Amino acid sequence: MTPCRHLEEIRPVIPSSDGCFDCLRDGRRDWVHLRVCQSCGLVGCCDSSPAHHARRHAAVARHAIVRSYEPGEQWFWCYVEDMAFELPGLAAGPSHFVPPPAPPPRSVWTLFAGGVSSTGVPGGSAGWGGQRPGRP
């Protein structure tokens, strides 16, 4: 049981974007965490982010409840009662895309490749006078 009186506002929404909708529109990406409005699916940034778009959207659109958009987090937040709660019976919510770890910088690769890149002569035709190099 939860004391939140806005549970009927929760519906299966499709997140509007992979990042904060308003931040992206303003050309910024400095949010900290993301929340999904459970009434319309708008993705907004949390209270730790500079722009507080999730809270602002809740106030302007009068949508009370958001859900965490972070991987592995399933909790809800009601902006009217300012409280978090979970609904254990509910399916896991979507989370935003997390990019895979970046490949190591190029210098590391050339370091690795240095010892094994001596086999680079293709075919051995031109310049060899038709004679292929024999096996060692």
Interaction between residue 10 and Zn ion (CB under 5 A): no
**Nearest CA among 9, 10, 18 for reference residue 71:** 18
Interaction between residue 37 and Zn ion (CB under 5 A): yes
In degrees and rounded to multiples of 5, residue 80 shows phi and psi of -75, -50
Asked if residues 39 and 13 have their Cβ atoms less than 8 Å apart, the reply is yes
Which of these ranges, 30-38, 66-74, 91-99, 120-128, lies near Zn ion under the rule CB under 5 A? 30-38
Which of these ranges, 57-65, 69-77, 86-94, 101-109, lies near Zn ion under the rule CB under 5 A? 57-65
User: Alpha-carbon Rg of the chain, whole angstroms?
Assistant: 27
Q: Binding to Zn ion (CB under 5 A): which residues in 59-88?
A: 61, 63, 78, 80-81
Choose, by CB under 5 A, the member of 20, 34, 43, 46 that binds Zn ion: 20
Measured torsion, CA atoms of residues 60, 66, 69, 75, in degrees rounded to the nearest 10 = 160
List interacting residues with Zn ion (CB under 5 A).
4, 6, 20, 22-23, 31, 37, 39-40, 42, 45, 51, 53, 61, 63, 78, 80-81
